[in-house]
Amino acid sequence: MRNNPIIWADYPDVDVIRVNDAYYMVSTTMHFMPGCVILRSYDLVNWEVAAHVYDVLDDTPDQKLEGEKHIYGKGMWAASLRHHKGKFYVCFVANDTHKTYLFTADDINGPWKKSEIEGFYHDPSLLFDDDGRVYIIYGNTEIHLTELKEDLSAPKPNGLNRIIVRDTQPHYLGYEGSHLYKINGKYYAFFIHMPKNEHSRRTEACFTADSLEGKFTGRDIFNDDMGYHNSGIAQGGIVDTSDGKWYAILFQDHGAVGRIPVIVPMHWEDDFPVFDKTAPEYIEISSTRPEYRYKSLVGSDDFIYKPDENGKVRLKDFWQWNHVPDASLWSVTEKLGTYRIHSGKISPNLTFAINTLTQRTMGPACEAIVTLDGSELKNGDYAGLSFLISSYGLIALTKENDQYYLVMLARTTKDKTIFGNLVDSKPGEEFGRVPLNGSRVILKAHGNFEDGIDECKFYYQAEEGWKKLGITHNMAWKMDEFVGCRFGLFLYSTKEIGGTAEFSEFKYIIMK
């Protein structure tokens, strides 16, 4: 039984560290809130959520989905995670605000203190050198090294500032996704790379130097796709175990389910990293806590929550909102065991719906089941269960002329730009409709991601059992949203605000 890729879900742009007996891995979360997830492991194979670095990043109109504003394809990217002198550091840029953020904490669970680094550093990596100086490397094709002030607030005046690597060969993707380390007195910079060659797929590269003022030399060091559609495994961090073994955790594009992390054993020869030729399908690594039981990265929810001493409710770690939620328009305490969404804006489609509650989909296949009560819907409302992605599919309860219907919608998109300007207001095409006598229904969404099939199907429970509604829809990962598809519980209004949808008994099933 294979366990690599180590997580068959959307955790891209990973960086990984070890602190004592624990491993921590950060990943890109783009427009989802809370954001900048950090996972924890004791064996590099099994993972759980340790923390989200922030609940809300900047609370801008775009981040809040005001009107038809959004940050799809933007948000936080490719964080650098470091631990130095007892403090955790997370550094990343957000491509909507064009700022570089620095979060610090004494404990991985927070609280995290937010600040900014003057400038914009694409795919950054921090390095705390032995002499107390601090550096950041970043860029695409040309990789820059910039010395920072001691407090990391800005570039250091008259500090080191140079290009250390430049891709001068024909390429589809220049060096980027930087990860910088100092190991046994030498400096190592790792990158993702996509040269023009017979494979034309992404590879992992490494360059090394004896000093930061010296010449960096290197090459591509890993080129494998694990037999998956020529999709190269690259970009990520390296980490050592307490017994001296080394591993790289990289990611691989895996279609609609997203970009998923893969572990690759490595060792050192003549002070240069050597990766295993291929990523193993199964890997066994000694656990520092063999009896530890991990929380699931996805899961079911009965929506029974109690407010804390401050009157606030924090949902289970596997939930994230699509963009910043509006706290006045959702609740899990108004009615015990129910997630209630109130409509507060007119939206043309699912893409612009506020308070869509999401979980990552998980390969090779998974399904979600939820009970929906739409008795408080307004005419023109849509509430239901979706696979949230730009080429989304959904099943929804809607109300027209005071009559309830169950509909299945799906949408395809075509990329016009590389990063995130294609998010339109088209509602999607209706492929199925049935009238309902009541307003309560049990829905099911099934996704199959085996070998890039990337199909979703939708069902509702009838007296004779599950009945499929609409088509089997093909989803596609695209750069307009830049994330893998997710289950989403949603409500949006097309005619008038004020409607309410109630969700209960959410069940998540991973199909082995």
**Known catalytic residues?**
13, 176
Instruction: Check residue 321 and report its DSSP letter.
Output: E
In degrees, to the nearest 5, what angle opens at C-alpha 179 toward C-alphas 173 and 184? 135
Sequence-distant (6+) residues with CB within 8 A of 210 are 185, 186, 187
Question: What's the token pair of residue 406?
Answer: 């169950």
Cα–Cα distance measured from residue 371 to residue 42, given in angstroms and rounded to the nearest whole number:
36
Cα–Cα distance measured from residue 248 to residue 238, given in angstroms and rounded to the nearest whole number:
4
Residues in the chain: 512
Residue pair 377/341 in contact (Cβ under 8 Å)? The answer is: no
Cα–Cα distance measured from residue 126 to residue 78, given in angstroms and rounded to the nearest whole number:
12
195 preceded by a cis bond (ω within 30 of 0): no
Cα–Cα distance measured from residue 208 to residue 212, given in angstroms and rounded to the nearest whole number:
9
Cα–Cα distance measured from residue 124 to residue 135, given in angstroms and rounded to the nearest whole number:
10
Question: What's the token pair of residue 64?
Answer: 């809040």
Question: What's the token pair of residue 159?
Answer: 């500090």
Give the distance between the most distant pair of CA atoms in the chain: 75
Sequence-distant (6+) residues with CB within 8 A of 20 are none
The closest alpha carbon to 213, from 104, 131, 140, 317, belongs to 131
CA dist 408 to 32, 383, 437, 477, 495, Å?
25, 11, 17, 20, 19
The closest alpha carbon to 204, from 144, 247, 162, belongs to 247
Alpha helices in 429-478, H assignment, sequence order: none
The closest alpha carbon to 189, from 176, 202, 203, 200, belongs to 176
Instruction: Check residue 72 and report its DSSP letter.
Output: T
β-pairing, 455-462 vs 440-448, is antiparallel
The 3-class SS string of 304-335 reads CCCCCCCCCCCCCCCCEEECCCCHHHEECCCC
The closest alpha carbon to 322, from 375, 263, 390, belongs to 390
Cα–Cα distance measured from residue 46 to residue 274, given in angstroms and rounded to the nearest whole number:
24
Residue pair 369/442 in contact (Cβ under 8 Å)? The answer is: yes
- Phi, psi angles (nearest 5°) of residue 421: -100, -5
Q: Exposed (0-12), middle (13-18) or buried (19+): which is 460, by Cβ within 10 Å?
A: buried
| Amino acid symbol at 146 | T
Instruction: Check residue 160 and report its DSSP letter.
Output: -
